Amino acid sequence: MLNRSARSGASSGLLWLLGSACALIVANLYYVQPLTGLVSAALGMPRGSSGLLVTLPLIGYGVGLLFVVPLGDLIENRRLVLMLLGLETLCLLAIGRIHQPVPFLAVAFLVGATAVAVQVLVPYVTYLVPLAIRGRTVGKVMSGLMLGIMLARPLSSLMADLFSWRAIFNLSAALMAALFVTLRLALPPRQPARHSSYTELLRSMGRIYLTTPVLRRRALYHACMFGAFSVFWTAAPLWLSGPQFQLTQRGIAWVALAGVAGAIAPPIAGRIADSGLSRPGTALAMLLAVAAFLLSDLAQSGSALALGLVTACAIALDFAVSANLVFGQRAIFALAPEQRSRLNALYMATFFVGGAIGSALGGWSYARLGWPGVSAVGIALPALGLWYFSTDPAARAVAAGS
């Protein structure tokens, strides 16, 4: 249970802090994304395997979601978050000093596994607010998370351009240490009411997944969307730095920074979800993701107009993925309150597997097929999600009613 100050509701200051914490923590998964060429060259990795630099942290994140985040239904949440932040700080300090590919990938996996602190914080905020405003509250916190994802790319590119690619990991270690102190002082304790063993908690997750169709569907919808997102942002830096556009790391950073405009989606999506319009919003988000990749196919000349089209694609795709994430979380957080950490863990783990697959496909398809191959994969993933969405009887009923 929450202490008295927490039960009184979430202040705007606390929500701001939680959103900022989510941004800083989740950014650690994405700093390497626009640096894959630089890092793989520095570590002596083949160019075709550069996708592993992004895939391994995401796989670590998925493992952490399945085996660490469920502890949020068992042990005091602030203590769990602080433990993960301490480990994250140590991993970031180490990764900035490694010069061999295998150790680097191993520690990158651990960076992802400990970054799941953010997914202990997201369900935590739902205990602070009533159901009627839960969507918009989650949307506010998720805005921070999406800003972290989107700002990580331009920030790491700029740091690499000004200093070296290792500088971003040293900076992030310092930020994690500062966040540790801040959360320790400001975050209200929350002790779960559930009293069961860790083994029982893990065993229950398979049953929850199999018996909760809303969770399965929402997780798989977003696995397709996040896979498309990862395809784009793994391959786009390689494309933009190649002979067609010849952008520097600073130029790539400006394109990535434009994608931050998509971070306005979570609060909008939260209000739409609170109004009961999540289903049509989901369909529109998937269609927008398909349209974004179709738009990128027009950017083949390498001109200023083509670069503008790539930037528009980035904004549209980031907006679609951000909105769909909130629609999914609003739906699963309306389910059993005592299972919220496990529901969130299963939801996130499923779609981060999609993201890891997308990252691998992005690097592979660009190396072998160029941008047309990347675009084809990017279109296929949300289209697959849209097809699966259309098989939901409730979605068909909405379509018939409209």
Q: Which of 206, 230, 216 is nearest to 347 (CA)?
A: 216
Q: What is the CA radius of gyration of the chain?
A: 20
What pLDDT does 395 receive? 56
**Distance, CA of 54 to CA of 101 (rounded, Å):** 13
Angle at which helix 393-401 crosses helix 340-390, to 10 degrees, equals: 60
Tokens of 263: 């971070």
Tokens of 346: 């299963």
CA 361-236-59 angle, 5° bins: 40
What pLDDT does 6 receive? 42
Taking 3-state DSSP, the helix, strand and coil percentages for the chain, each rounded to the nearest 5, stand at 85, 0, 15
Contact of 224 with 382, CB cutoff 8 Å: yes
What pLDDT does 114 receive? 95
Tokens of 236: 């786009």
CA 282 to chain centre: 17
Residue 276 backbone class (left: φ over 0; alpha: ψ -120 to 50; beta: rest): left
Tokens of 395: 């979605």
Q: What is the pLDDT along the chain (402 residues), one digit of tens a residue?
A: 444 434 445 567 778 888 899 999 999 988 987 788 788 888 888 766 777 888 888 888 888 888 898 888 888 888 999 999 999 999 999 998 888 888 999 999 999 999 999 988 887 777 766 666 666 677 777 777 778 877 887 888 888 888 888 999 999 999 999 999 999 998 888 777 766 788 888 888 888 888 899 999 999 999 999 999 889 988 888 888 888 888 877 787 788 777 677 667 767 777 787 777 888 889 999 999 999 999 988 887 778 888 888 888 888 998 898 888 888 888 887 787 777 778 888 888 888 788 878 888 888 888 888 999 999 999 999 999 999 999 987 655 544 444
Tokens 């959103």 belong to residue: 19
Query: Into which CATH architecture does domain 11-186+208-393 fall?
Result: Up-down Bundle (1.20)
Residue 286 backbone class (left: φ over 0; alpha: ψ -120 to 50; beta: rest): alpha
CA 301 to chain centre: 31
Look up the pTM and report it.
Answer: 0.74
**Distance, CA of 118 to CA of 62 (rounded, Å):** 13
What pLDDT does 35 receive? 83
What pLDDT does 300 receive? 74
2 bridge partner residues: 190
**Distance, CA of 13 to CA of 143 (rounded, Å):** 15
CA 308-310-311 angle, 5° bins: 65
Helices (H), 98-197: 101-114, 117-126, 134-162, 167-186
